[in-house]
Amino acid sequence: MESLKKKKQRAEKIFEILDPLYTTEKTALKYSTPFELLVSTILSAQCTDERVNQVTKVLFKKYKGPEDFVKAPISELEEDIRPTGFFRNKAKSIKACSQALVEKYNGEVPSTMEELIKLPGVGRKTANCVLGAVFDVPGIVVDTHVKRLAKRLGFTDNTDPDKIEKDLEKLLPKDKWRRFSDLLIYHGRAVCKSRKPDHAHCPIFHLCPSKEI
């Protein structure tokens, strides 16, 4: 069983190796306001960022803010976001979230985890994405890539995203949390893919316990 100290040392080395290799953008989602990022992140569940960006390019011209989403007929909104998949649930979440923002926050996106996760359709992953990108609040975004890589790299035995988040927080200082999760996301997309990891081109292969499996 690897000690926490050893895991921390390995995490630091992985961070140092991956940091210069990937973009410093905090998200690949395109947005111009905190609310747009919130909507985009809700839409990104089980959907590629590229597809979300294609949809929101049109969506945000039609709906300028939460008030417009509240007024929109649910069937119309469903059609507008249909290409992102799970469009019925996403439409419900976006409308309910927009309603809560209008009623409780004067249409503004709050800047704390406690407030964000009380919004319909917003979990810790979405909240951390918005907090880190917009408000520079330290946090680890646990998406499917982070979940997969955290397990492969031997940093967690958990499957619950909230528990994985806590496990990863122990490895690096707060100021590296967001960047570390971003690096795992970008590396997961480019190299450490779900079905077939590209071991031959992985710069952290020597630090990965999965190479022995």
Nearest one of 5, 6, 14 to 208, comparing CA atoms: 14
- Residue 61 a catalytic site member: no
Catalytic residue among 80, 143, 167, 182: 143
Rg, the chain, Cα only = 18
Q: Count the neighbouring beta carbons within 10 Å of the beta carbon of residue 42.
A: 24
- Residue 143 a catalytic site member: yes
Mean pLDDT value across the chain: 96
For the stretch 81-104, pLDDT in tens is: 999 999 999 999 999 999 999 999
Given a cut of 90, whether residue 78 has pLDDT beyond it is yes
**Tokens for 138?**
């330290």
pLDDT band at 209 (very low <50, low <70, confident <90, very high): very high
Catalytic residue among 7, 125, 167, 182: 125
Question: pTM for the whole thing?
Answer: 0.90
Nearest one of 107, 191, 183, 121 to 146, comparing CA atoms: 183
**Percent of the chain, pLDDT > 90?**
95
Given a cut of 70, whether residue 213 has pLDDT beyond it is no
Tell me the C-alpha to C-alpha distance, in Å, between residue 124 and each of 74, 105, 129, 211: 25, 19, 8, 31
Q: Count the neighbouring beta carbons within 10 Å of the beta carbon of residue 130.
A: 27
**Tokens for 180?**
């570390």
Domains in the chain: ranges and CATH:
4-25+139-212 (1.10.1670.10), 34-135 (1.10.340.30)
Query: Residues 133, 122, 37, 194: what is their CA dihedral angle, to the nearest 10 degrees?
Result: 80
